[in-house]
Amino acid sequence: MKNLRLKAARAGKDMSQDDLAKICGVSRQTINAIEKGDYNPTIKLCITICKALGRTLDELFWEDENIEDVSVVG
């Protein structure tokens, strides 16, 4: 599943994938893979990304609660 919130947060900070990758000490392709949902980062990298973008883990990586709520109600 694509991580559009990460992409939006990065764009909000006016950062390219390369900029964020350099701050986090990973390759640009790794950031790209996370945004595309092709790679699940470790908690360590998640925290580094959150710190770089000034967001919390919940904001960037927690799954959408609404979707869970719908499944529970349904």
Partner 1 sequence: MKTNKEKRTVIISIIAVALTLVVGIIGFALAEVGIIPEELRYKAGVVAGVLFGVALFFVVVALSRKRGNGCANEFDERQNITKGIAARKGFGTMVALLFVLILSELLEIPIPIEKPVLYILVFLLGALVVVCYNIWNDAYFALNENKTFIISLLVIMTAINGVVGFMHLIGGSLVVDGVLTSDSLNLIVSVFMLVILAVIAAKHLRERQGDDEE
SS3 54: coil
Binding status of residue 12 toward partner 1 by CB under 8 A: no
Beta carbon nearer to partner 1, 5 or 39:
39
Binding status of residue 7 toward partner 1 by CB under 8 A: yes
Binding status of residue 15 toward partner 1 by CB under 8 A: no
Dihedral sign of CA atoms 66, 44, 8, 36 in order: negative
Helix (H) or strand (E) holding 61: helix 57-61
Buried b (16+ CB within 10 A) or exposed e, 57-66: eeebbeeeee
Binding status of residue 56 toward partner 1 by CB under 8 A: no
Binding status of residue 47 toward partner 1 by CB under 8 A: no
Q: Which of 1, 42, 66, 72 binds partner 1 (CB under 8 A)?
A: 42
Binding status of residue 29 toward partner 1 by CB under 8 A: yes
